[in-house]
Amino acid sequence: MANSKRKDPLRILFISIEGNTRSFVHKLSEYAQKAHKQDENIRLVESIEVSDASGEILMKDPFVTFVPTYLSGGNGIHNGYTEIMTEELRFTLEDEDNYKNCYGVVGSGNKNFNAQYGLTAKHYASKFDFPLIDLYELRGTSADVERVYDRLVAYQTEFEKKLEAFQN
């Protein structure tokens, strides 16, 4: 008999220019798969990678977005705000109002960029009015994977509950 309690997967829409975000999302997926083998109510991870070749993407169900930071120069305080390389993700969030099903953003970057560290995710949070769920550096550590996974479960669960209440 099918288990009606089985939870939906965590859905991730991401972009990765040099592979770090792809690697982190892959680690999250492996972590979830391992835990799911022990308990099928533990959510798996499904991901969609945005690229210039993706074509139009429609996100009908709750999801989280992951964005690395690429900004043009500056220091992130007086200048250096202009997003480069990751715009295709922003366009995908805007397309078809996809952002309305997005319950938050996880950002990444390199702390050497000081005040610009993870700044694109902060910009997305304010532009689309969804929460900044977490930040991690480069490919992330196993502690980052566990912490981010737990936060995604909490945020997606909360979002699903609100959606359900709204629909009833």
Ligand X SMILES: Cc1cc2nc3c(=O)[nH]c(=O)nc-3n(C[C@H](O)[C@H](O)[C@H](O)COP(=O)(O)O)c2cc1C
The burial class, CB within 10 Å (0-12 / 13-18 / 19+), for 132 is middle
Q: Considering beta carbons, is residue 46 or 83 the nearer one to ligand X?
A: 83
Q: How far is the CB of 104 from ligand X (least distance, A)?
A: 18
- First vs last C-alpha separation in the chain: 27
- Give the binding-site size for ligand X (rule: CB under 6 A): 19
Place of tokens 């997003």: 83
Binding to ligand X by residue 108, rule CB under 6 A? yes
Which of 118, 130, 144, 145 contacts ligand X by CB under 6 A?
Answer: 118
Contact status: 65 vs ligand X (CB under 6 A): no
Only one residue has tokens 């859905």, namely: 11
CB atoms within 10 A of CB 44: 16
The nearer residue to ligand X, 33 or 114, going by C-beta atoms, is: 114
According to CB under 6 A, which residues from 131 to 150 bind ligand X?
138
Nearest to 125 by CA among 101, 156, 109, 103: 103
Q: Are 108 and 138 in contact (CB under 8 A)?
A: yes
CB of 81 to ligand X, least distance (A): 9
Pick from 33, 90, 42: nearest CA to 66: 90
Mark the segment that binds ligand X (CB under 6 A) among 35-43, 49-57, 102-110, 159-167. Answer: 102-110
Q: Which residues contact ligand X (rule: CB under 6 A)?
A: 16-21, 68-71, 108-110, 113, 116-119, 138
